């Protein structure tokens, strides 16, 4: 703190554990510029709580996800009504350097972003792990199974992004009647079980995000 003594900042970023907010944030109240705002990536810490901790300053909550570390993240962003537009623009530009930014109007919506995107990499890693293990059971070694699975996922998602085609249409384009893909999809989701698991997954994450706030 001694190194920034006397300095004032337009945006003060909070990147600490939520349980530390009430003890640490008040120590930095004097480091805000006159119209300075607090930008928090502390998961589950509400705007109201952050405002109390920083002396009533405007607050921007951001929920990034893990791929932000490689510039391919998805970050939800929700701002209190008193954030100056110019600083909201700067915060948006800051987060866009880490990937895509989804702006929402309420903390409830931010909880839903958390369920879909914030926790999303965990779901994708879990699916990829199961996919790799299944490939290994077909006789591939781990290195080849991992490469096949990750490259298949990467290429498929790139095609969806680049073409903009409906996902159902893209799925159908690779699914010939009576073919191997149709057989695999019937096992994966023929009874809608997989779709139900995804709905349950997001619902559980959303409920927990609400509890944390």
Write out the E strands in 3-84.
Answer: 9-14, 32-40, 59-63, 73-79
- What dotted CATH number matches 2-114? 3.40.50.720
Locate CATH 1.10.3730.10 in the chain.
Answer: 120-212
pLDDT along the chain (213 residues), means of 10: 70 94 95 95 93 97 96 97 97 97 97 96 98 98 98 98 97 96 97 96 96 85
What pLDDT does residue 201 have? 98
Q: 106-141 in b/e burial notation, b at 16+ Cβ within 10 A?
A: ebeebbbbbbbbbbbeebeeeeeeebbeebeeeebe
pTM of the complete model: 0.90
- Span(s) in the chain for CATH 3.40.50.720: 2-114
- Alpha-carbon gap, residue 30 to 202, rounded angstroms: 40
CATH topology of domain 120-212: ProC C-terminal domain-like fold (1.10.3730)
């Amino acid at each position: 703190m001694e190194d920034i003594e006397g300095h004032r900042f337009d945006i003060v970023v909070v990147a600490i554990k939520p349980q530390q907010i009430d003890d640490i944030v008040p120590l930095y109240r004097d480091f805000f510029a006159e119209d300075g705002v607090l930008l928090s990536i502390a998961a589950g810490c509400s705007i109201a709580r952050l405002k109390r901790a920083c002396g009533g300053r405007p607050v921007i909550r951001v929920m990034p996800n893990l791929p932000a570390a490689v510039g391919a993240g998805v970050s939800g962003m929700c701002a209190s009504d008193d954030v100056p537009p110019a600083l909201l623009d700067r915060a948006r530009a800051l987060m866009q350097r880490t990937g895509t930014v989804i702006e929402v109007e309420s903390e409830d919506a931010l909880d839903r972003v958390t369920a879909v995107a914030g926790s999303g990499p965990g779901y994708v890693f879990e699916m990829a792990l199961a996919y790799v293990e299944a490939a290994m059971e077909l006789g591939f070694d781990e290195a080849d199974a991992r490469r096949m699975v990750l490259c298949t996922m990467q290429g498929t998602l790139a095609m969806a992004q680049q073409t903009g085609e409906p996902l159902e249409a893209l799925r159908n384009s690779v699914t010939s009647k009576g073919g191997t893909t149709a057989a695999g999809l019937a096992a994966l989701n023929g009874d809608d079980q997989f779709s139900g698991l995804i709905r349950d997954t997001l619902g559980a994450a959303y409920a927990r995000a609400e509890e944390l706030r």
